[in-house]
Amino acid sequence: MNIYRINKTATELVSLEALKDHLRVEHNAEDNIIKALGQAAYDWVEQFTGRSVLKTYWKFVSQVFKAGSVIEQQLPFPNLLEIESVTHRLSAADQEQPARYTTSQRNSISSIRLISKGAPVEVLYSSGFGPDPSFVPEAFHQSVKILVAHWYQNREGLSCGIPTTVEKFLYPYQILRCA
């Protein structure tokens, strides 16, 4: 199984202006570091929760299953927004053949079910809460602001750890996976 991020929404979850307001910074001298901390906080939130926050496009390629077997595969990074295509990647010159499939969802984890043709299955899909920040729960916005403030104040790395407030905000949204 391989998963590739095709692209993510260019929109920021929390704008530079909102971060500067939260930090009480009125000058522009540190805009680049604040933007970088905002991106790092956004990435950390996605990693911690196991979710795409803003609309993100993914390409999922399954392993090869025996022809005729039923495949039920979870799609990483909820919340599923749209499946663009599902194809069997046949070995002859990477010929693709559309696949018939069904989807199901349990505890916000989406799965795809289909019959294998003895070739990897490629799924192009998008996931996240939506295309812009207004679709995202406020806990995510606040978590990014708190992380940026923590990292901005502790730039030298002397204070380790993540503020417990952030973890408490995000625990209800965390996807736990069994290995």
pLDDT at 95 over 70: no
67 pLDDT band, cuts 50/70/90, is confident
How far apart are the C-alpha atoms of 122 and 60, rounded to whole Å?
A: 6
Per-residue pLDDT, averaged over 71-90, amounts to 88
57-127 and 2-53+131-173 share a CATH fold: no
Per-residue model confidence as pLDDT tens digits over 151-179: 999 887 766 788 999 999 999 999 876 65
Q: What is the model's pLDDT at position 94?
A: 61
According to the model, what pLDDT value does residue 158 have?
Answer: 65
CA distance linking residue 168 with residue 164, whole number of Å: 6
Rg (CA), the chain: 20
Handedness of CA 143, 144, 150, 156 (dihedral sign): positive
Res 19: pLDDT = 97
Residue 93 — pLDDT band, cuts 50, 70, 90?
low
Is 71 in contact with 113 (CB distance < 8 Å)? Answer: yes
pLDDT band at 62 (very low <50, low <70, confident <90, very high): confident
CATH code of the region 2-53+131-173: 1.10.3230.30
For the structural domain made of 57-127, what CATH number should be given?
A: 2.60.40
pLDDT at 90 over 90: no
At residue 78, the pLDDT reads: 87
Distance, CA of 10 to CA of 55 (rounded, Å): 9
For the chain, domain boundaries:
2-53+131-173, 57-127
